[in-house]
Amino acid sequence: MTEPETAHPSRYDETGRERPTSSRWKVRRLNPPNPLWGSNGVAFGPDGRLYVAQFLAGRISAVDPVSGDVEVVVPMDGPVQSPDDLAFGADGSMYIADLVPGRVWRRTPHGEYSLVSDRMKVPNGITCVGDRLFVNEMRMNGRLMELFPDGRDPVVLTDGLALGNAMQLGPDGHLYYPHMISGQVWRLSPDGGTPELVAEDVHEPVAVRFDRGGVMTVLSRGTAGIVTRLDLHGTGSRSIVTSGVVGLDNAAFDAENRMFVSSFASGGVTEMHPDGRTREIVPRGLDGPFGVTVGPAGTVYAADHYRLAGPESPVEGDGSDVTTHALMPFAHGIAAEGTLLHLTSQYGEVRTYDSEHRTTRVRARGLNRPMGIAVDSGGRLVVAESDAGRVLAIDEHDTVTVLADGLEHPVDIAFDTEWRCYVSDDRTGAVFRIGDGETSAVAEGLGAPQGLAVLGEELFTVETEPRRLRAISLTTGESRIDAEGLAVGAPPGLTARTEPALFTHGMPGLPIRFAGLAASPDGSLLLSADGEGTVLRLSPSRAHGATAGSGSGSNTPG
């Protein structure tokens, strides 16, 4: 181990000192762990801490805005599945919008949960006005409703929202909320009536907030971190600042009018000054990562659910520990081919991103949970269609053919130096070789193998249940354990949910975990430690030397 034993608290290990063990590899993190990943709705609680809803994590954490300390308040194995926004009532109760199952919860100051409503579709924006509770829906033709914790029937105040999101009561006593699709801000009396258009041409609005002076602040969900301020009741002026915080999601103002923002794309909490300058409170990082690959010149790329990320070379002034190359919704598997990056979305798409021209081409739609992806000798994309139990090929004309079917749950794809194709299956606990219409087992009895990569005459796979790396000889079939204690999967002692439906009311559900693996031309391995939000580089130790043969990635054999 070459990394200093400095504590980096993470979701996998609160001390940050737990490390993988290996006698064959030197293991180094390319980026620090992400202690607060997928930060969404934020609100100050009665105790002065900033409470953060973490949709991807399925938990809610409280952040000390001075020290940056993070405490999990609603754990990921509790009743709340996918919190996206939250608000506090007059009695100190926390109200939670649980997006995927369509529920709204109440958590009392004593930590007791009760279900307020299960009659909304994709509830998201939530706010309290005294002892009244209002929630809107993040869907087309969404509704804005008043809910009643005492069990009374909800009241629909309006519908027709073009994806609602974070909303707040304005100084004029109206509820203000964004239409994410149309780039508008609307307002409505808490007692109903006809909604009124407040602002148009607002850049990708995701949240509407008011500072202590009554100035409306609208956050953009785009790559530039744009914040628009509108003085509705003074001069009527509009100003825009660019923060560089990718994927802004929500904001809260403290008693001193300091603004704290969250990011769905990179997590963390950041203080943002009126001129766009930022100060890190909780560091941002990777939400996953899931698939990982190595591009030309050894550049490492990670598929990070909402974006295409680079863990090694942060952009100067970004303030994050990783680079966002592009927002890429629901990116899961990834394979490099020159300047092209091929990605799967587990919600059905395969896409090719041209990193030189920054263009995206959709190669396939309507697939059933595609995950791992690789490129064969003829340039075809080979994809593990996990929930269909198939391995597919997509040619240059985007024609899809089936290479193998009847598998239980194929996850990742790799080719060896002779262009033979391998696929991992994490439910049957096996790695298979496929070709000429036949499927044969290369290794069985494994613990939920996922990521695959080939180096020379050895095939490597990440066994996610025992959290270890296994090497399999492609000539003798013998295998060994090469590394243990990997931060993959759910944190120890917790069981990660696997959300059964790909979509809920037309919106995507929670991602399935995927510990990706790739080989680098320098003979090292890159591993997605999705349990802590890092990419690990495993370099051959001097005691054992380089693995036999030249390096060949899970994408392009060398």
Q: Could you tell me the residue ranges of all domains in the chain?
A: 25-32+286-493+513-552, 39-282
Give 113-142 pLDDT, tens digit per residue.
Answer: 999 999 999 999 999 999 999 999 999 999
The pLDDT value given to residue 554: 41
d(CA 126, CA 159): 15
DSSP 384-451: EEGGGTEEEEE-TT--EEEEE---S-EEEEEE-TT--EEEEETTTTEEEEEETTEEEEEE-S-SSEEE
Task: Indicate whether this model's pTM tops 0.85.
Answer: yes
The pLDDT value given to residue 515: 96
Output the CA torsion sign for 77, 33, 525, 308.
positive
Identical fold for domains 25-32+286-493+513-552 and 39-282, yes or no, is no
The pLDDT value given to residue 500: 43
The pLDDT value given to residue 340: 97
Token pair for residue 366?
A: 């309507």
Phi, psi of 386 (to 5 degrees): -60, -55
Token pair for residue 530?
A: 């999705």
The pLDDT value given to residue 77: 83
Give 441-488 pLDDT, tens digit per residue.
Answer: 999 999 999 999 999 999 999 999 999 999 999 999 999 999 999 999
* Domain 25-32+286-493+513-552: CATH superfamily, name plus number: TolB, C-terminal domain (2.120.10.30)
- pLDDT higher than 80, residue 351: yes
Yes or no: domain 39-282 corresponds to CATH 3.40.190.10: no
Tokens 């990783």: give the residue: 322
DSSP 172-198: TS-EEEEETTTTEEEEEETTEEEEEEE
Q: What is the mean pLDDT of the chain?
A: 90
Q: List strand residue ranges (DSSP E) for 64-215, in order.
A: 70-74, 83-88, 94-98, 103-107, 113-117, 123-129, 132-137, 140-147, 155-162, 168-169, 175-179, 184-189, 192-199, 205-210
261-269 mean pLDDT: 95
Tokens 């054992």: give the residue: 544
- Of the segments 12-26, 162-176, 228-242, which one has the largest average pLDDT value? 162-176
Distances (CA, A) of 441 to 435, 472, 473, 477: 12, 12, 13, 10
The percentage of residues in the chain with a pLDDT greater than 90, rounded to a whole number, is: 80
Tokens 């080989």: give the residue: 519
418 compared with 549, residue with greater pLDDT: 418
First to last CA, the chain: 28
